[in-house]
């Protein structure tokens, strides 16, 4: 059995690169998760997970992370990514990710609606929401990335 993560934070960043992969890598680095090995997870925050915005993940770690991203090579295109973590104190939470060809404000609004709906369909009361979002105007090849890393 794998241990349950005990800590999390939300992060979002954008970057340019010579390729889509290096743009993605640059965004990961700016988001403080670029020197880890991402283990993509779906959207449940473990019970009693504590928010630690300054959490540092050791390089090379296998990192459980829920994330959304978008890359584009369309010069002048606005792209955005957002993550929202909804919390019910004393219970588990829900993580929602969104990315698209839109502004940061539109991405934040969309991810907020998704978190609210996720709680509504579970019949849970939503106590708080943590959101991180970014937008990026593409020059050559750009990436917008938003995530909720989980740690032990």
Q: Which residues contact 92 (CB under 8 A, 6 or more apart)?
A: 44, 45, 46, 47
Whole-number Å distance between alpha carbons of 26 and 48: 32
Whole-number Å distance between alpha carbons of 143 and 23: 5
- Is residue 37 flagged as an active site residue? yes
What DSSP string runs through 11-80?
EEEEEE-SSHHHHHHHHHHHTT-TTSEEEE--SEEPTTPEE-TT--PPTT-EEEEEEEEEEE--TT-EEE
Residue of 14, 72, 97, 135 marked catalytic: 97
Residue of 14, 16, 35, 42 marked catalytic: 42
Residue of 37, 48, 73, 91 marked catalytic: 37
- Is residue 14 flagged as an active site residue? no
- Is residue 97 flagged as an active site residue? yes
Whole-number Å distance between alpha carbons of 122 and 22: 38
Number of DSSP helices (H) and strands (E) in the chain, helices first: 2, 10
- Is residue 103 flagged as an active site residue? no
Residue of 14, 16, 18, 43 marked catalytic: 43
Which residues are the active-site residues?
Answer: 37, 42-43, 97
């Amino acid at each position: 059995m794998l241990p349950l993560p005990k800590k999390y934070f939300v992060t979002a960043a954008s970057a340019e690169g010579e390729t889509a992969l290096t743009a993605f890598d640059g965004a990961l680095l700016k988001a403080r998760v670029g020197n880890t090995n991402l283990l993509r997870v779906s959207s449940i925050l473990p019970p009693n997970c504590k928010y630690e915005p300054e959490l540092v993940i050791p390089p090379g770690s296998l990192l459980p992370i829920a994330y959304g991203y978008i890359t584009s090579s369309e010069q002048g295109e606005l792209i955005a990514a957002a993550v929202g973590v909804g919390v019910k104190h004393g219970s588990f939470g829900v993580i929602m990710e969104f990315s698209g060809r839109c502004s940061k404000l539109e991405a934040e609004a969309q991810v907020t609606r998704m978190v609210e709906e996720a709680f509504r369909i579970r019949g849970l009361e939503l106590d708080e929401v943590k959101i991180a979002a970014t937008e990026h105007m593409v020059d050559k090849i750009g990436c917008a990335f938003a995530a909720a890393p989980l740690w032990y």
